[in-house]
Structure 1
Amino acid sequence: MENQEAQQQQPQQTQQQVPQPPVTISDWFLTLFLTAIPLVGIILLFVWAFGSNTNPSKANWAKAALLWAAIGIVIWLLFMSIFGAAMFHKWN
């Protein structure tokens, strides 16, 4: 009985995460510049969002930017569908 209690009360080891250095202003400047380049920006957002060697703050920013882009595409598709249906109805 005592052996079972000793096994159940083992201290749990937690992994200490090493704090990441903050993203510098020059790094943010370069990041925003690169994301403004068509096609390259989207590819880099995916790399930064889901890459394993990316600073967590930059990864979270990239995920948020991809989410906003997806929301914008959905709204654009809805608008174009409604506008297209209205124009189709007007011509027929």
Structure 2
Amino acid sequence: MENIQGETAPVMSLKDWVISVLISFIPVIGFIMLLVWAFSDSTNPNKKNWAKATLIIFATGFVLYLVFAFIFFGAMMSAGAGGFDSM
């Protein structure tokens, strides 16, 4: 359990959040920055938790995308193979 009386992190301003979100939208650089923010010791704990949560959501979305892509690809291959045999 964390020490409640410990040091608190400074509050991130709206400007800081907007800049962080805009940087995270950049395709490759955004992903790299999310990794840096998530695992750096010098990052604000609020941004660190946000970056970790964003990476978890990205990973979950990517896994779901792969599952549906394999299901769709498999269905198309099985439907396509059966259709050509009847010609």
Could you tell me the TM-score, scaled by structure 2's length?
A: 0.85
1:49 aligns with 2:38: yes
- The ranges of structure 1 where at least 4 consecutive aligned residues each deviate by more than 4 angstroms after the TM superposition are none
Root-mean-square deviation (CA), in Å?
Answer: 1.2
Aligned counterpart, 2:25: 36
1:71 aligns with 2:60: yes
Structure with the larger helix share: 2
1:20 Cα offset (Å) = 1.2
Per-residue deviation, residues 9-36 of structure 1 (Å, max 9, x unmatched): xxxxx8x632111111110010011011
The number of equivalent residue pairs is: 78
Identity of aligned residues (%): 41
Aligned counterpart, 2:71: 82
Q: Give 5+ residue unaligned stretches, structure 1.
A: 1-13
Q: Give 5+ residue unaligned stretches, structure 2.
A: 82-87
Per-residue deviation, residues 38-89 of structure 1 (Å, max 9, x unmatched): 1011000000000010000100000000000000001000000000000000
Aligned counterparts of 1:89 and 1:64: Cα–Cα separation in 2: 38
Aligned counterpart, 1:58: 47
